Amino acid sequence: MAIRSEQSRQAILQATMKLLDEREPDSVSVQQLSIERIAREAGVSKTTIYRWWPSKAAVIIDTFLENHIVQTTMRDDLPAVDALREHVVALAKLYAGHEGRLMAQLIAESQYDTATLDTFKTLFWRPRREVVNRVIERAIAEGSIRSGYSPDELAERIYAPIYFQLLFREGAFDADTISAGFELALHGIAGQPHANGSATATA
């Protein structure tokens, strides 16, 4: 039974990803997708889907996470700031493709559906934020990121540009661009103060 259940679960996740993949001939958007359509594609009943997931959004987010976490791991064998830099670049690389368009649709749907927003925060956003915050705390302890700000505040400065680019499609997701943005967040935008107290930009 356990093997059959896992096979059904994987069939549901694979069917959901296939239906949302715009490269497939019969793909649909997040908004157009339904539990009925997933069940038909996976060859299972709606009851089977609801056994594991309370909503369509939960199925989609778990489908996304199956692929997302594998490709955007946060390493613990590097200095914390290097682990953060590597994670930011990996995240941008992932969002440059189909997964980024899927994430943008999920965020968009969350704006007018509070249940989807709550599911998104519970299953994806908060757990991933906790992972990032722990690494930021380690970076502060190592002295590579200054103290005085909460991990949440620092994470927002590091990751917000990626989501801005994702939603507005402004800028590039290549490694050099994202690395440069990370360094800007890391070092700040303040100029070098003059002796008279004013500031000037540094090269």
End-to-end CA distance of the chain: 64
Give the pLDDT band (50/70/90) at residue 195.
Answer: low
Q: Is the pLDDT of residue 54 over 70?
A: yes
Q: Is the pLDDT of residue 201 over 60?
A: no
163-171 average pLDDT score = 90
- CB neighbour class for 67 (10 Å; exposed up to 12, middle 13-18, buried from 19): middle
Give the pLDDT band (50/70/90) at residue 67.
Answer: confident
The whole-angstrom separation of Cα 60 and Cα 40 is: 16
17-34 average pLDDT score = 92
Question: What is the value of pTM for the model shown?
Answer: 0.82
Q: Is the pLDDT of residue 51 over 50?
A: yes
